[in-house]
Structure 1
Amino acid sequence: MPSPHTGLAVDTHAHVFVQGLALAARRRHSPEHDATTAQYLALLDAHGCSHGVLVQPSFLGSDNSFLVQALRAAPRRLRGVAVVEPGVSDVALAELAEAGVAGMRLNLIGLPTPDLAAPEWSSLLARINALDWHVEIHLPAGRLHEALPALLQAGCKVVVDHFGRPDPVLGLADPGFGYLLSQAGSGQVWVKLSAAYRNWTPADCPTAGREACARLLHAFGGERLMWGSDWPHTEHRHLASFPVVRAWLDDWIDDPAQREAVLAGTPLRLFQFK
């Protein structure tokens, strides 16, 4: 459902792709179905979402051309998060920004954390900051300490994916989740309430997600939290659907003002929707 007061709601995490695109040589997953921009926009319409954010899928690597094509199909409704390498040119970054990209993603699941203080990364992060982009990081909670300090030291706005990815066995007792909570005071960190099924079983998502939300709200407030569908739920399509994950948010957050901040106010600002 849309935000109760503004009529606005933002899905901050979704992916679009079609079969036949060039895939990254190093990838964890190869899609066997299409997830088109038209399908996604229809889902936004059906579930009261005014805006959406498309995140470059890891299996497409740093070729953001399909992402750009999707953003240009609905420039008022969509923003993007791209994957870029340290050597990317200023011209390429400007083209991404013009298309509606508002951040870069570091998906480090299964990959080592790069030395973000090294000259090539420092230079890239400075250019990202100059564009007023954020850096979105995806890695297990126990590894957040490998990336966050350098990004915060560089002055970056940091968005942490999927509740911070606490360990499924440890749950919210994961020290990495506690570390994430401790970073709220920086004022530079946002967290996506998304892909709960990547952390917990579907049966546990309503209760575990609610407890995680309570702790995150206590630490960050609604001003640093956002909701994402994670559509099309890659590798988890049998466990989730857009209406199910949207309904979870209403189960997780009781207060309408907090829910409105998470759904609308915070992401509208961070992703620079006009």
Structure 2
Amino acid sequence: MPPSDALPTTGGFTKTAGWLDWYQGPARPRFQLPEGAVDAHCHVFGPGAAFPYAPERKYTPCDASKAQLFALRDHLGFHRNVIVQATCHGDDNRAMLDACQASQGRARGVATVRRSISDEQLQALHDAGVRGVRFNFVKRLVDFTPRDELMEIAQRIHRLGWHVVIYFEAPDLPELWDFFSALPTTVVVDHMGRPDVTQSPDGPEFGLFLRFMREHPQVWCKVTCPERLSSSGPPALHGQQQAYQDVVPFARRVVEAFPDRVLWGTDWPHPNLKDHMPDDGLLVDFIPQIAPTQALQQRLLVDNPLRLYWPELVG
């Protein structure tokens, strides 16, 4: 249910006008997740009273706590989470770290760090469960960070065995190609590089992204966020099981072409959605459409995230 535009969050913060709260009462998925499945892309927001939002943030979200995330994990049938640092917290990773440390080993983190971080601080993040850093190139969400700073960070975290998560929009890939290719780590692309799904998956824009993955075997992809990428409108317009169908051929193409380099996650609590808030149970039911066999589902949801975030558990 959409909140009041002016409803305050805890901690004295006021949500961005029009902000949609996450969906309460998600359905229990009909699709049975494989044992040990990982929600490999989700967030925590605050709570603001305990973990204040960054002064330089571009938006103020609703609170979305670790307890609420873990309750959703159990309801949907996941065993583990990968918690990605939210831009509204800047480089203050405390909310994400608190969730990882409270998970009893069932969560790993992706942090935001600056050049000024010390090696001792990086090691402390590692000990708390961080296994990657996120570089955000979406201009409406973050301010520009010089590429030499990002490359320096990538070189330093490479020593810890971490990877870099990159968030960008499809039209910007040609400009960013050389920088991404030069990163010394495994590189994980958020949300398939945000393709324009009104175009053909056989078209030049998505073809360039597929070529990027083919030519760079260190590049992985999150086949996430159909609710964010779809141009067909909210599920109410089509029936729940027919929602987001315009995203299916893009995601399925990536899963089938690169089965050992794909991840999936809910993106809970779904920041910055404008027209509807998805039912996370129905998002789970979307998975068999993009990974139609048990073998693909096992790689997408269990084997791949374990290799990247819990390698110590892989025989």
TM-score by length of 1: 0.89
Aligned equivalent of 2:265, options 201, 224, 228: 228
Matched, 1:49 2:86: no
Q: Name the structure 2 match of 1:61.
A: 90
Tell me, yes or no, if the aligned pair for 1:13 and 1:55 is still in contact at 8 Å: yes
CA distance in 2, matches of 1:249, 1:51: 17
Aligned partner of residue 288 in structure 2, secondary structure: helix
The match for 1:15 among 27, 32, 43 is: 43
Q: What are the within-5 Å matches in structure 2 for residues 97-246 of structure 1? A: 97-110=126-139, 111=142, 114-116=145-147, 118=148, 120-167=149-196, 169-170=198-199, 172=201, 175-185=204-214, 186-200=216-230, 201-203=233-235, 205-220=243-258, 222-236=259-273, 238-246=276-284
**Structure 1 Cα separation of the partners of residues 209 and 143 of structure 2:** 19
Q: In structure 2, do the counterparts of structure 1 residues 115 and 219 end up closer, same or farther at CA, with 3 Å as the change threshold?
A: farther
Structure-2 separation of matches of 1:38 and 1:49: 15
> Which one-letter code corresponds to 2:289 in the other structure?
D
Deviations 1:175-194 (A, max 9, x none): 44222211223111111111
Equivalent AA in structure 1 for residue 115 of structure 2: P
Q: Is contact 2:223–2:254 with CA below 8 Å preserved after alignment?
A: no
Runs of 4+ displaced beyond 6 Å: none
Instruction: Decide which of 51, 57, 60 is 1:30's aligned counterpart.
Output: 60
Per mean C-alpha deviation after superposition, the further-off stretch among 104-113 and 182-191 is: 104-113
Q: Does 1:252 align with 2:290?
A: yes
Between Structure 1 and Structure 2, how many residues are aligned? 268
User: Which deviates more, 141-150 or 125-134?
Assistant: 141-150
Task: Measure, in 1, the Cα distance between the counterparts of 2:292 and 2:60.
Answer: 38
Does the residue aligned with 2:52 lie in a helix, a strand or coil?
coil
Matched-pair contact (CA < 8 Å) for 1:206–1:252: no
Give the whole-Å Cα distance in 2 for the aligned partners of 1:174 and 1:27: 35
Q: Which amino acid aligns with 1:232?
A: P
Q: Give the corresponding residue for 2:310.
A: 272
SS in 2 for 1:215: helix
CA distance in 2, matches of 1:113, 1:153: 19
Structure that is richer in helix per residue: 1
Per-residue deviation, 1:27: 2.8
Shift of 1:150: 2.1
CA distance in 2, matches of 1:46, 1:191: 25
Q: Alpha carbons of 1:171 and 1:87: their partners in 2 closer, same or farther (altered >3 Å)?
A: farther
Q: Percent identity of the aligned residues?
A: 34
CA deviation after TM superposition for structure 1 residue 145, in Å: 3.2
Q: Which has the larger radius of gyration?
A: 2
> Quick one: distance in 1 between partners of 2:243 and 2:133?
28
CA distance in 2, matches of 1:141, 1:131: 30
Distance 1:102 1:171, change over 3 A: farther
Mapped contact 1:14–1:55 kept (Cα < 8 A): yes
Q: 2:300 aligns with which of 243, 250, 262?
A: 262
Q: Which amino acid aligns with 2:218?
A: Q
Q: Which residue of 1 aligns with 2:123?
A: 94
Give me the whole-angstrom Cα distance separating, in 1, the residues matched to 2:48 and 2:202: 39
- Note the residue ranges of structure 2 that are not aligned, 5 or more in a row: 1-30, 236-241
Deviations 1:4-62 (A, max 9, x none): 4xx1100011111213333233333211x321111111111111111111011101000
**Structure 1 residues 254 and 174: CA distance shift in structure 2, 3 A:** same
In angstroms, what is the RMSD of aligned CA positions?
Answer: 2.2
Q: Deviation of residue 230 (structure 1)?
A: 0.4
Q: Is the 8 A contact 1:162 1:192 kept in 2?
A: yes
- Contact 1:37/1:70, CA 8 A, preserved across alignment: yes
> Does structure 1 retain, via aligned residues, the 8 Å contact 2:166–2:188?
yes
Deviations 1:152-201 (A, max 9, x none): 32322111111210135546466442222112231111111111121113
Query: What residue in structure 1 maps to residue 112 of structure 2?
Result: 83
Q: Secondary structure at the match of 1:228?
A: coil
Distance 1:170 1:27 in 2: 32
TM-score (norm 2): 0.78
